[in-house]
Amino acid sequence: MPAHRIAVIAPSPVSMFNLAIPEMMFGKVEVDGRPGYEVVICAAEPGAVPTSGGLDLHVPRGLDAVHEADTVVVAGTGAPYEPDPRIVTALREAADAGKRIASLCTGAFQLAEAGLLHGRRATTYWAHAEELRRRYPQVDLQGDVLYVQDGPYVTASGYAAGIDLCLHVIRTDYGAAVANEVARLSLVAPVRPGGQTQFTHTPLPPERGTFCADTRGWAMRNLDKPLTLTDLARHAGVSVRTLTRRFHAESGVSPLQWLLHQRIERAKELLETTRLPMDQVARACGLGTADSLRTHVVRRTGLTPSAYRAQFTRLGTGAAGDTSSAA
């Protein structure tokens, strides 16, 4: 199977961090020993592209790379309110061709200018959210989430949320097991839910976000157990109230929301990589019963566990199917 082609557009002046994220994340994907993606960086005007940090980057490819791509990613820029008409035209043509289009940070302004986000949910970096809302009132702006997908368009907020968007795309294309392996190689958290907040109202604690790290790791190793807030607090050596406060400060969600997300991610990985019956999958990830597994997987993915397994399995097609009628 040929590699999925991704064109990353570098507006001027481009954010070097934004530009590095897709190449770093997609470049780590291997499927059956082969690269899962072919990433090409391009610009409206090939050659020296200014960056928001004052440097110039040499980008040899022009926007013709967009025509060859399966997915188009628009990086953020230091001039979010001045969409480039050449990029806007390329995005409209890509949309007409049915390509998936994503933006990082202020790249959403380019998509909005192209009219792709009218009547759709989208997000951007919180500091620029009000400006995007003012300029493009037709956009259903989700001002305080990490990333959001509406149809073929995926938008991420600022900075590290671009990593979450890339992991989301990888999971969509190749499944949770591959996305989690890329997260492990990149030393970042597994795929976070797009509805998680941007942390704009939650300052990091003095410990720089590491206070609950050991407890999170312990919980990940014990997902098959019926963990409670009391269990987590006891492991952390603090009260339930303190755990809840510090956990939210570090991760942006409550301990139980985080735990449920990890259980569902583990369930998806088991559905993709094993032939376990549904009741065993449910017990292995701590969701209890096949009915509970079904409820949570449908809510998260829109698919029943059986349908999810059929669509995303990494096993051979001759395998025996699951045996749970609740799937």
pLDDT, tens digit, 9 for 90 and up, residues 80-107: 888 999 999 999 999 999 999 999 999 9
pLDDT, tens digit, 9 for 90 and up, residues 264-304: 989 998 998 999 999 999 999 999 999 999 999 888 777 88
Half-sphere exposure (Cβ direction) of 8: Cα atoms closer than 13 Å? 27
- CA 246/CA 241 separation, integer angstroms: 9
Task: Note the Cα 218 to chain centre separation in Å.
Answer: 24
Cα–Cα nearest to 159, from 43, 76, 54: 76
Q: Which two tokens stand for residue 227?
A: 């963990």
Q: Which two tokens stand for residue 121?
A: 């949910």
Single pTM value for the model: 0.66
pLDDT, tens digit, 9 for 90 and up, residues 235-269: 999 999 999 998 888 877 889 989 998 999 899 98
Mean pLDDT of the chain: 87
- CA 100/CA 106 separation, integer angstroms: 18
**Does residue 301 contact residue 293 with C-beta atoms inside 8 Å?**
no
Helix axes 290-301, 305-312, angle to 10 degrees: 60
Judge whether residue 198 has pLDDT over 50: no
- CA 99/CA 147 separation, integer angstroms: 18
Cα–Cα nearest to 168, from 14, 301, 32, 9: 301
**Does residue 190 contact residue 216 with C-beta atoms inside 8 Å?**
no
pLDDT, tens digit, 9 for 90 and up, residues 206-215: 334 567 888 9
